Amino acid sequence: MRKYDKGFKEEAVKLSDEVGLKQAAAQLGLPYYTLSEWRQKRKAYGDHAFVGSGIHRDAPLNENERRLMKENAELRKTNEILKDALGFFAKDRKK
């Protein structure tokens, strides 16, 4: 399996936008499905479509996922406050 650098992938996708997917794949000597996959990644991830080695790309979160993550963070914070309060009152009862 060949590895292609980020710059090559970006230029290949731009070329495929200009001349079409099949023609760009033929000109570059790439399999059609490879170039098609790169286009799908660009559509899904935008500027973060082609990451380098060691860099992780997170899928973009939709509005519902963002809301749930915010709610989860608030619930964790509330839970910590309640744990602290329980410890405070439990210490008071032991005396």
Q: Which helix (H) or strand (E) holds 25?
A: helix 21-28
Give residue 84's domain range. Answer: 61-95
| 71 & 94 share domain | yes
Phi-psi region of 20 (alpha: psi -120 to 50; beta: other; left: phi over 0): left
Q: Which helix (H) or strand (E) holds 79?
A: helix 63-94
Domain total of the chain:
2
pLDDT at 60: 66
| 40 & 66 share domain | no
Q: At what angle do helices 32-45 and 21-28 cross, to 10 degrees?
A: 120
| 3 & 30 share domain | yes
pLDDT at 88: 80
The C-alpha torsion from 50 through 54 and 57 to 58, rounded to 10°, is 170
pLDDT at 82: 93
pLDDT at 37: 93
| 46 & 78 share domain | no
| 13 & 47 share domain | yes
> Which residue ranges in the chain fall short of pLDDT 50?
none
pLDDT at 32: 93
